[in-house]
Amino acid sequence: MYNSVSTKAEEFICDEEIEQVIDFSKKNYLDKEIINEILSKAENFEGLDYKEVAILLQCLKNKQDDVIDRVKKIAMKIKQHIYGNRIVFFAPLYLSNYCVNACRYCGYNHSNCNMKRKKLTQDEIKREIIALQDMGHKRLALETGEDPVNCPIDYVLESIKTIYSVKHKNGAIRRVNINIAGTTVENYKELKEAGIGTYILFQETYHKKTYEKMHPKGPKSNYAYHTESMDRAYQGGIDDVGIGVLYGLYDYMYDTIGMMMHIKHLEDTYGVGPHTISLPRMRFASGVDLHDYQNISDDIFFGIVAILRCAVPYTGMIISTRESKESRKELLKLGITQLSGGSCTGVGGYADSDKDEEDTQQFNVDDTRSLDTIMHDLCKDGYIPSFCTACYRSGRTGDRFMKLAKTGEISNVCQPNALMTLKEYIMDYASEETKKYANDLIEKEIQNIKDEKIKNTVKARLKLIENGDRDFKF
């Protein structure tokens, strides 16, 4: 029985309800009145529920191009209105690829004997952080395999401390997001106390049977424990979580509706939905045969992103370097607000960049541009690359953040913070070519700050940054 506030995974992600909603969408996706109602709701930034999302997904599946074109236009409008031109950057940092699980789609799979196993020492972590700071990164997503012996929670906590402690030249990692396996309430409490930003955990697929097939061994094989992880995270005091599915494992319609149900569960139960949604598609990884998966085309993927932007206008949406440069450019228009850049998906690959990282890599990356090249390309296209970490450091998380996001007030701080962190990047890390485009962009964008007081403060702070000061924030 479907119950959005149940504590049981199989009740808040209800298979029967998803199948019924898919059936309903099949019968109604041609109904113009229903479509118009859904689109006008989206246009008014009201968000969409999982039933409405199902109707739009059915239009996507059945090539109702006129509807999907309208969805894309609305997605672009929402993106521009709420987020403006800023794109937030982060880098993944892989600490350890030891893993006791056997996820079929992952190179770190316990059964993959070809994978070279490695765990960074605290000194190696410091070297990685220095390399990341030298690129200009301020925000990390920490990644580890699940292994209570080789990678216990104490190691993760010690590593977070190490990361925050490294101050190299003008660099600093100001926000550490964590992507580790579902764990206990006690461990979530400790992560919260260690000062993490977002706790990220992908569901991979909401379809229980497929989930069990994809995760045949190890603690992650327990569907309920994994699906209820965010509940335990909230109970441990974490109010900033990131979710995602891995597109390609099961039917995209089922998984997107499942993800919308998960969002509803978190909103209805804890009063605040996820801060971010990550949108990975299956990629080749060591020991993985892509023929075993039902990967989705660019057209479908772009459509899903646009539908989600309409459905959750206030949630950050993330695309990693799994996607190509061309796809990422397209996806930015449709609602993506965060990108990774210059990423290494192996253990220890930032400091030893000439070493072949492939033997410790979780999956292959497609966008292999350096961070500076991405900065350059984005500035040229009129986006403001941002290294802002202000919200979490100012206590703007959970429902406090959502209130600001929903009233649109957040954009009053996002854009100035983006300009100031971009200026820091220009002063400390940018190539001459990037500097030129980025400085022109700042000059232009500063005129778009509506509040005169904020505009003048930003101007003054930009001067101070030129003179060597760092880390201003609103």
Which residues make up the interface to ligand SF4 (CB under 6 A)? Answer: 88, 99, 101, 103, 106, 108-109, 145-146, 181, 220, 386, 388-391, 410, 413-414, 417
Strands (DSSP E) contained in 4-138 are 86-96
Task: For tokens 């039902």, name the residue.
Answer: 294
Nearer to ligand SF4, 52 or 357 (CB): 357
Nearer to ligand SF4, 108 or 302 (CB): 108
Radius of gyration (C-alpha) of the chain in whole angstroms: 21
Quick check: 23 and 257 in contact, CB under 8 A?
Answer: no
CB of 59 to ligand SF4, least distance (A): 31
Sign of CA dihedral 404, 409, 413, 415: positive
CB of 104 to ligand SF4, least distance (A): 9
Separation of alpha carbons 301 and 312, rounded Å: 16
Collapsing DSSP states into helix, strand and coil, what is residue 179?
A: strand
Class of residue 427 by CB neighbours under 10 A (exposed 0-12, middle 13-18, buried 19+): middle
Q: Which CA distances in Å does 387 have to 338, 339, 352, 375? A: 10, 11, 24, 11
CB of 112 to ligand SF4, least distance (A): 8
Length of the chain: 474
Nearer to ligand SF4, 90 or 302 (CB): 90
Nearer to ligand SF4, 279 or 414 (CB): 414
CB of 121 to ligand SF4, least distance (A): 20
Class of residue 240 by CB neighbours under 10 A (exposed 0-12, middle 13-18, buried 19+): buried
Nearer to ligand SF4, 40 or 80 (CB): 80
Q: How far is CA 103 from the centre of its chain?
A: 20
CB of 253 to ligand SF4, least distance (A): 23
Q: 139 phi and psi, to 5 degrees?
A: -130, 130
Nearer to ligand SF4, 50 or 383 (CB): 383
Nearer to ligand SF4, 4 or 96 (CB): 96
Separation of alpha carbons 226 and 245, rounded Å: 13
CB of 373 to ligand SF4, least distance (A): 22
Q: How far is CA 36 from the centre of its chain?
A: 30
